[in-house]
Amino acid sequence: MSKPLPIEVRKVPIKNVSDASGLEELIDSGVIEADRIIAIIGKTEGNGGVNDYTRIIADRAFREVLINKGTRSAADAMQVPIVWSGGTDGVISPHATIFATIDPAKAVQTDEPRISVGFAMSEAILPEEIGYMGMVNKVAAGVKIAMERAGITDPKDVHYVQTKTPLLTVHTIRDAHARGSEVWTEHTHESMDLSNGTTGLGIALALGEIKSVTDPEIMKNLELFSQVASCSSGVELDQAQIVVVGNVRGIGGRYRIGHSVMEDALDADGIWAAIRDAGMELPQRPHFSDLKGRLVNVFLKCEVSPGGVVRGRRNAMLDDSDVHWHRQIKATVGGVAAAVTGDPAVFVSVSAAHQGPPGGGPVAAIVDMGTN
């Protein structure tokens, strides 16, 4: 296994649905090299649903920059993992976080833990495997490959696993039926939660967060979950696209990642805990001004409380027929995260079954540790 390279991480705004100028500016200014970009994770401003095509528009815009500003072919550019989460409800601002390797000779030299990134694609996931152990096992195998590529040997050094997986569409449901197979659900929007939850269990299994899981427990036993999984799904692919982010000693660089969980939708302390876990010293009652520009970004998953209660108070999200709970909880947690960080450009993604505790969700934070 070759030694992983140090990483540069930057967050850029997305000014309109097809804007990739922030990425272009990073390349033109020499902050990163186009051919060294290894992953992009971002928020787009669509509806966050099955037919959210803003993800495809943003994907095309960013991949065109990779081609135009570097030496990659179109085919090679398509292999770069770019994970888009649709829906910027409330104050969440569209943005992208760029991960790129840098020349080790130019990196800050340190033996302290610094961020490392590994990527893998799972075997193709059949529509009839979504919601079952077939998908869990394929995801778990892919996570282990991505860990190895990141140079991470101890699962405790993994702080964030971002995935993109297929969900069910009318076309793929029909395809399964044509082969004599049944699917877990024929409701395409429900399959978003299903795909994310099944993937979360695959991550938890790979990292040893859970010892085992069975088909009947998927989407039922919510006490089984990963503390580092952030799973999104869409119509763009038929495999699990897996990005593992953790810390490795001795590779150098300025950035470090940490994680925690939000116990519920209002748990601001869970976000602060992730920032502290990334290595930033903070006062007992911190304020966003204490971050001093060193927080690159936070990455959160959120889920409505299955009992319809937050801190003893009833809410009506699950009964609302006008606005789906996906959008309501995303806006809520996005507001909490923006208040903590002082920045509305936070990565908040909904549908967190088996990702963090019921009604809560995982939090990862990336911090610039500086040149010392």
Neighbours of 344 (CB within 10 A): 17
CA distance 138 to 312: 39
CA distance 22 to 19: 8
Nearest Cα residue to 46 out of 58, 38, 34, 36: 58
| CB distance 72 to 316 below 8 Å | no
DSSP codes joined into one string, 320-367: -SSS-HHHHHHHHHHHHHHHHHS-S--EEEE--TTBSSTT-EEEEEEE
CA 217 to chain centre: 23
| CB distance 345 to 297 below 8 Å | yes
Active-site annotation, residues: 164, 232
